[in-house]
């Protein structure tokens, strides 16, 4: 009902704010857009679910996420894909993996510091009711 739509509108505002803050962080530039398949032709053979910050934003606007947990599951693909596709010991791979780990830690810290547990519980009740 109307109150549920108010909760989900607030969820989208929270998730947009997080995603936009991450997109402004220079460490995460490589994560802002989909990996360029013309630049990396084998990417989709290795990575089954590409994800990036611009796609998270599109998903939010398309009302894909009803809980923070669902958003986190997609956000996790961004850094997990980077660790998987860039495993080597050369400086380029090490650099993108360091940024991937920083992204993982930053998302979790923001949610720990800024998400009210009771709000997420209300979102989960809405998800279970649908
Ligand atoms: C999330 O970004 C990536 O996984 C690409 C993979 C990639 C390899 C070659 C071109 O792009 C990347 C971008 C920048 N620095 C390292 C790797």
Residues 6+ apart with CB under 8 A from 105: none
What is the 47 CA–ligand 1 centroid distance (Å)? 12
CA dist., res. 103 & res. 78, Å (int): 9
Q: What was the pLDDT predicted at 85?
A: 98
Q: Which two tokens mark 22? A: 């991450």
CA dist., res. 10 & res. 60, Å (int): 11
Q: Residue 26's pLDDT band (boundaries 50, 70, 90)?
A: very high
Q: What was the pLDDT predicted at 48?
A: 98
Q: Mean pLDDT throughout 13-31?
A: 99
Q: What was the pLDDT predicted at 61?
A: 99
Q: What was the pLDDT predicted at 108?
A: 98
Q: What was the pLDDT predicted at 30?
A: 98
Q: What was the pLDDT predicted at 78?
A: 99
Residues 6+ apart with CB under 8 A from 52: 31, 32, 33, 34, 35, 78
What is the 26 CA–ligand 1 centroid distance (Å)? 15
User: How high does pLDDT run on average in the chain?
Assistant: 98
CA dist., res. 96 & res. 92, Å (int): 6
Q: What was the pLDDT predicted at 1?
A: 93
CA dist., res. 41 & res. 129, Å (int): 42
pLDDT in tens, 39-83: 999 999 999 999 999 999 999 999 999 999 999 999 999 999 999
Q: What was the pLDDT predicted at 72?
A: 98
Q: Atom 2, ligand 1: which residue's CA is nearest?
A: 30
CA dist., res. 130 & res. 119, Å (int): 17
% the chain with pLDDT above 70: 100
Cβ–Cβ under 8 Å, residues 50 and 79: no
Cβ–Cβ under 8 Å, residues 114 and 121: no
What is the 30 CA–ligand 1 centroid distance (Å)? 7
Q: What was the pLDDT predicted at 127?
A: 98
């Amino acid at each position: 009902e109307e109150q549920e739509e108010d909760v989900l509108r607030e969820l989208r505002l929270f998730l947009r704010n997080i995603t936009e803050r991450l997109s402004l962080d220079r460490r995460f530039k490589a994560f802002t857009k989909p990996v360029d398949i013309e630049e990396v032709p084998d990417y989709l053979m290795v990575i089954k679910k590409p994800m990036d910050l611009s796609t998270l934003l599109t998903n939010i606007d398309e009302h894909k996420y009803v809980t923070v947990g669902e958003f986190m599951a997609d956000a996790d693909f961004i850094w997990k894909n980077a660790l998987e596709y860039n495993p080597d010991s050369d400086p380029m791979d090490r650099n993108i993996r360091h940024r991937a780990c920083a992204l993982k830690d930053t998302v979790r810290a923001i949610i720990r510091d800024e998400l009210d547990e009771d709000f997420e519980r209300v979102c989960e009740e809405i998800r279970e009711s649908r």
